[in-house]
């Protein structure tokens, strides 16, 4: 009895020594988790999955910091290209393209997405699977759903992540990704994974963390369903006439290649633009940067990631891969 009283006293002292804002935050998060668990159970998530996924979970301070401190990029397009698309990555992409040619061609035939684009997405999103992010997806999404700027969005993504665990595609320990919850080698958000993930190797799990076939097939399935055109490229670098009107820049302005050609737009090698394919003239990073005529597939790339820097770089890497495909 004396031992119990002593321990109880120490426990009370320990609780009282916790700073009150931290203690309140912990209580608030625990209450929030109760509500989340109840909602998840109502969606058919089992108690066992919830226990395994949410045991010992707490907000990740680093995720909160990253979410609240996202400065506008000051990187020029040239700097971005130098960082994201160095010669070493192009060489590695060509190597990976050849090493996975058989799987890529099979998936390309099934989904009508060119294999060089699948490798380009793979390389830029996760450095060919080597950099998938080091955060627990469940913990990161729980943090953002509880404390983030877009709580409703991240709560929905968290519930989708729990659905993935319920299906048995992966485990909480293996479900790693970025601080914002993008997962695996394809960096899919859970909602995208649920809709478009593919079990290419037929083992009963859609594994975008370790199965290259699943990664490529899931990416191809996603692209096809958001409008990819398998018989078209993404765009081409162009040069402009001296009197090209600045108001003609932008994705909202679309003309046929023939019409752009009549306005003095040429391929970078001087060849005229020809054809009825719809295109826009884009200058990522603004004046002084390279100029591109971009096609409908460019808009699809921007559905994957809305950055013009990202979309253009995916296209340039896809082009570079097949320039050395012999």
The CATH number covering residue 138 comes to 1.10.8.350
Q: Is 190 part of a structural domain of the chain?
A: yes
Q: How many domains does the chain have?
A: 1
Residues (pLDDT < 70) of the chain are 1-25, 70-74, 324-326
Q: Is 177 part of a structural domain of the chain?
A: yes
The pTM assigned to this predicted structure is 0.89
Looking at residue 14, its pLDDT comes to 47
Q: Is 99 part of a structural domain of the chain?
A: no
Looking at residue 145, its pLDDT comes to 97
CA 228 remoteness from chain centre = 17
Looking at residue 69, its pLDDT comes to 77
Q: Is 104 part of a structural domain of the chain?
A: no
Residues 228, 271 contacting (CB under 8 angstroms): no
Give 161's contacts (C-beta < 8 A, 6+ positions apart): 53, 137, 138, 141, 175, 181, 190
Helices of type H across the chain: 2-17, 20-42, 47-54, 61-68, 77-84, 87-99, 101-111, 115-126, 137-147, 151-167, 190-196, 212-225, 257-262, 296-304, 308-322
Q: Is 52 part of a structural domain of the chain?
A: yes
Classify residue 246 by its DSSP letter: G
The domain of 178 spans 17-68+134-196
Q: Is 174 part of a structural domain of the chain?
A: yes
Using the CB atoms, write b or e for 191-227: b if 16+ within 10 Å: bbbbebbbbbeeeebbbbbebbbbbbbbbbbbbbeee
Looking at residue 12, its pLDDT comes to 45
Looking at residue 10, its pLDDT comes to 45
CA nearest to 193, candidates 179, 207, 180? 207
Q: Is 250 part of a structural domain of the chain?
A: no
117-149 per-position pLDDT tens digit? 999 999 999 999 999 999 999 999 999 999 878
Q: Is 31 part of a structural domain of the chain?
A: yes
């Amino acid at each position: 009895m004396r031992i119990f009283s002593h321990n109880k006293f120490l426990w009370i002292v320990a609780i009282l020594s916790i700073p009150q804002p931290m203690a309140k935050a912990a209580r608030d998060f625990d209450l929030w988790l109760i509500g989340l668990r109840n909602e998840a159970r109502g969606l058919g998530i089992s108690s066992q999955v919830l226990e395994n996924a949410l045991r010992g979970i707490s907000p990740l301070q680093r995720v909160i910091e990253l979410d609240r401190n996202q400065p506008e990029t000051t990187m020029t397009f040239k700097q971005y290209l130098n960082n994201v698309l160095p010669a070493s990555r192009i060489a590695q992409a060509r190597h990976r393209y050849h090493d996975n040619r058989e799987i890529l061609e099979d998936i390309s035939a099934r989904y009508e997405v060119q294999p060089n684009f699948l490798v380009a997405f793979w390389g830029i999103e996760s450095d060919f699977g080597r950099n998938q992010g080091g955060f627990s997806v469940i913990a990161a999404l729980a943090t953002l759903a509880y404390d983030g700027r877009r709580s409703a969005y991240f709560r929905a993504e968290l519930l989708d992540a729990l659905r993935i665990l319920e299906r048995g595609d992966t485990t909480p320990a293996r479900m790693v990704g970025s601080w914002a919850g993008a997962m695996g080698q394809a960096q899919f958000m859970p909602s995208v994974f649920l809709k478009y993930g593919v079990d290419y190797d037929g083992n009963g799990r859609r594994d975008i963390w370790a199965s290259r076939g699943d990664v490529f097939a899931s990416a191809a399935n996603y692209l096809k369903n958001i409008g990819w055109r398998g018989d078209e490229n993404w765009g081409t670098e162009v040069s402009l006439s001296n009197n090209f009107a600045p108001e003609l820049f932008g994705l909202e302005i679309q003309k046929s290649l023939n019409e752009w050609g009549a306005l003095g737009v040429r391929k970078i090698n001087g060849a005229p633009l020809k054809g009825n394919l719809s295109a826009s003239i884009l200058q990522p990073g603004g004046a002084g940067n390279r100029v591109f005529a971009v096609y409908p597939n460019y808009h699809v790339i921007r559905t994957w990631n809305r950055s013009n820097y990202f979309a253009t770089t995916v296209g340039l890497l896809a082009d570079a891969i097949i320039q050395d495909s012999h």
